[in-house]
């Protein structure tokens, strides 16, 4: 059983945050940890939600949305984020390709954010635990399925921006050889009461914290 405030495997050794994917509005990073958990790491390893916002601003960028792909609630809460940053939780299991419904939901959340923020350049931050495999796969799927990027270009651009390449063979094979997933309905507005994050919070531009 995983301890409540334990540090994820490999977390300490990974680059905290990458840079913006060139030609897109994605930025990938490892999961930030709440303050009590960061007491277990060195000062140089510390990476909290506040550190995340500071790091992105230091790149002269602004974060508008976080899509959290971790399959747990233990790392941090929305109370740790500024109210200006929207948050969507998509519970996504590791070590396997997300199902088509999750891929579609991810693309729909991204599409809705980009449509609502066409007048600005705010970034979409995406993370799983490491910010590499699940994160890279879903970002690449969007770039390939929606923006019509070539698979190898998407893979390369993500690796360069994140500072770590996608490692999981199943993810790489799906990106390179897998079929395009349907985009039908990703541009549809949510139904009344519908949640796009699979949780209790309705995804909206003024989502309460």
Nearest CA to 130 out of 83, 171, 175, 87 is that of 171
Distance in angstroms (rounded) separating the CA atoms of residues 112 and 121:
14
Distance in angstroms (rounded) separating the CA atoms of residues 124 and 63:
6
Distance in angstroms (rounded) separating the CA atoms of residues 95 and 76:
22
Where are the extended beta strands (E) located within the chain?
Answer: 26-28, 63-68, 86-89, 123-127
Nearest CA to 16 out of 37, 35, 31 is that of 31
Distance in angstroms (rounded) separating the CA atoms of residues 32 and 161:
18
Q: Catalytic annotation on 209?
A: no
Catalytic residue among 25, 108, 134, 181: 134
Nearest CA to 187 out of 137, 113, 102, 126 is that of 113
Distance in angstroms (rounded) separating the CA atoms of residues 76 and 36:
10
Max Cα separation, the chain?
A: 46
Catalytic residue among 122, 128, 140, 181: 128
Q: Catalytic annotation on 140?
A: no
Is residue 90 a contact partner of residue 67, using CB atoms and an 8 Å limit?
A: yes
Catalytic residues: 128, 134
């Amino acid at each position: 059983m995983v301890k409540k405030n334990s540090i994820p495997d490999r977390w300490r050794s990974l680059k905290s945050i990458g840079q913006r994917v060139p030609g897109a509005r994605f930025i990938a990073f490892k999961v930030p940890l709440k303050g009590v958990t960061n007491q277990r790491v060195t000062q140089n390893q510390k990476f909290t939600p506040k550190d995340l916002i500071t790091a992105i601003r230091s790149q002269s960028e602004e974060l508008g949305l976080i899509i959290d792909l971790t399959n747990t609630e233990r790392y941090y809460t929305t109370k740790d984020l500024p109210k200006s940053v929207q948050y969507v939780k998509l519970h996504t299991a590791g070590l396997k390709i997300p199902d088509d419904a999750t891929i579609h939901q991810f693309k729909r959340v991204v599409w809705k954010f980009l449509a609502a923020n066409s007048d600005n350049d705010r970034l979409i931050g995406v993370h799983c635990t490491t910010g590499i495999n699940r994160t890279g796969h879903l970002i690449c799927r969007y770039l390939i399925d929606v923006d019509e990027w070539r698979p190898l270009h998407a893979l390369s651009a993500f690796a360069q921006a994140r500072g770590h390449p996608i490692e999981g063979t199943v993810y790489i094979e799906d990106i390179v050889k897998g079929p395009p997933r349907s985009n039908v309905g990703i541009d549809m507005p949510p139904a009344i009461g519908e949640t796009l994050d699979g949780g209790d919070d309705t995804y909206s531009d003024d989502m309460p914290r």
